[in-house]
C-alpha cells in the first residue's frame, strides 16, 4: 500500500531518503513519495512465505513424519511388551498359588463319570454354583456363555469348554443339572457328585460354600464364592474373573492367554 503526500506543483530531482521513503524535489518545492510496510513485509512477501514450496520443504515434512511414526511404533511395542510381562508375572503367581491341583471325580449331567484328565487339551471356563440360586448364578453363567459365544465366532481360536460344578449336591442330581444347563448353552457341561466328591473339588479350587438354614418348605440358599476360572489345555489353573469383570473383559483376557500359551507338558 502506498501513502502519497503531494507538495504543490511539479518536481524535478529525485533523491533518496530514509528506508521506506523517496523525495522528488524542484527548488524549494518538494513532493514526498513514501510507502510503509504492512505487517513488516512488502507486498507479495507474505503470500510467498505462507506457502513454502520446494524439495527442501517436502524433505523436512517426510523426515518429520517418519520420525513421528518411529516414535509411535516404539511406544506401542514397549506397551505391548510391558503388558505381556505383566500377564506372565500374573500367570506365574497364580500357578504358585497351587489352585486346582490334583484330580477330581464327578458325574456329568448325562450320568457319565468325569475326571480332570477328560478336559486335557481344551481351554475350560469353570463356574461353581447351584441350580436353585435365584439370581447370581444365572447371571454369571449367562456371562460365561457370552464369552464362549464371542470366542466361538472368531475363526482360528480353539474352542472353549464351559463347565458348571454344583456346590449343592443334595438337590443337584444329574437329572436336575441336565434340566438346568440346557437353558444356557448346548455345550455347557454340568458336573455333580456326592457330598465328599464336591467337597474335594471345591477345596482344590479354594471355593467357599455353606448351606443356609432350611425354611418350612425345606428350601435353602447356599452361600458361595463367585468366580469364573480359566484352565489351560494343560489342565492348569491360569486365571480367574470376579463378578465385576464383564464378558468383554473376560474374552479379551482369554484371547491373550491363548496367544501366550506354551504347553509345559511336552
| Structure confidence by residue, pLDDT tens digits, 122-132 | 999 999 999 99
pLDDT at 87: 58
All cell numbers assigned to 73: 511404533
* Domain map (residue ranges) of the chain: 62-97, 105-265
Determine contact, residues 66/209, Cβ cutoff 8 Å: no
Across the chain, what does the average pLDDT equal?
81
Please give the CATH topology (third level) of the domain spanning 105-265. Glutaredoxin (3.40.30)
Residues annotated as binding site? 133, 137, 224
pLDDT at 126: 98
* Predicted TM-score (pTM) of this structure: 0.67
Residues annotated as binding site for Cu cation? 133, 137, 224
pLDDT at 188: 98
3-state secondary structure at position 231: strand
Average pLDDT over residues 89-114: 80
What is the separation, in whole angstroms, between the first and last Cα of the chain?
A: 86
Determine contact, residues 208/89, Cβ cutoff 8 Å: no
Cα gap 224→233, rounded to integer Å: 27
162-209 tens-digit pLDDT: 999 999 999 999 999 999 999 999 999 999 999 999 999 999 999 999
Nearest to 188 by CA among 144, 241, 130, 133: 144
Cα gap 212→78, rounded to integer Å: 51
Non-local (6+) Cβ contacts of 204 within 8 A are 99, 100, 101, 102, 104
Count CB atoms within 10 A of the CB of residue 31.
19
Half-sphere exposure of 201 (CA within 13 A, CB side): 26
Q: Is the pLDDT of residue 41 over 60?
A: no
3-state secondary structure at position 211: strand
pLDDT-based confidence at 99, cuts 50/70/90? confident
3-state secondary structure at position 216: coil
Average pLDDT over residues 12-40: 45
Average pLDDT over residues 154-163: 95
Amino acid at each position: 500500500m502506498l501513502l502519497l503526500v503531494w507538495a504543490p506543483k511539479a518536481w524535478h530531482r529525485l533523491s533518496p531518503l530514509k528506508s521506506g521513503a523517496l523525495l522528488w524535489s524542484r527548488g524549494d518545492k518538494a513532493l514526498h513519495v513514501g510507502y510503509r510496510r504492512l505487517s513488516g513485509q512488502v507486498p507479495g512477501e507474505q503470500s510467498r512465505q505462507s506457502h513454502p514450496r520446494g524439495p527442501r520443504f517436502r524433505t523436512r515434512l517426510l523426515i518429520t513424519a517418519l520420525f513421528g511414526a518411529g516414535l509411535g511404533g516404539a511406544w506401542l511395542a514397549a506397551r505391548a511388551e510391558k503388558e505381556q510381562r505383566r500377564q506372565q508375572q500374573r500367570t506365574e503367581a497364580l500357578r504358585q498359588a497351587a489352585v486346582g491341583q490334583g484330580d477330581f471325580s464327578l458325574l456329568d449331567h448325562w450320568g457319565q463319570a468325569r475326571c480332570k484328565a477328560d478336559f486335557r487339551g481344551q481351554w475350560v471356563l469353570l463356574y461353581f454354583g447351584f441350580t436353585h440360586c435365584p439370581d447370581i448364578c444365572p447371571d454369571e453363567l449367562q456371562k460365561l456363555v457370552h464369552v464362549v459365544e464371542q470366542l466361538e465366532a472368531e475363526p482360528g481360536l480353539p474352542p472353549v469348554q464351559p463347565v458348571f460344578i454344583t456346590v449343592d449336591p443334595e438337590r443337584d442330581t444329574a437329572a436336575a443339572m441336565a434340566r438346568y444347563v440346557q437353558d444356557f448353552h448346548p455345550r455347557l457341561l454340568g458336573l455333580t457328585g456326592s457330598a465328599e466328591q464336591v467337597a474335594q473339588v471345591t477345596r482344590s479350587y479354594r471355593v467357599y460354600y455353606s448351606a443356609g438354614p432350611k425354611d418350612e418348605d425345606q428350601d435353602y440358599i447356599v452361600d458361595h464364592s463367585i468366580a469364573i476360572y480359566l484352565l489351560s489345555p494343560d489342565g492348569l489353573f491360569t486365571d480367574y474373573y470376579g463378578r465385576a469383570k464383564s464378558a468383554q473383559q473376560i474374552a479379551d483376557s482369554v484371547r491373550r492367554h491363548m496367544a501366550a500359551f506354551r504347553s509345559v507338558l511336552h
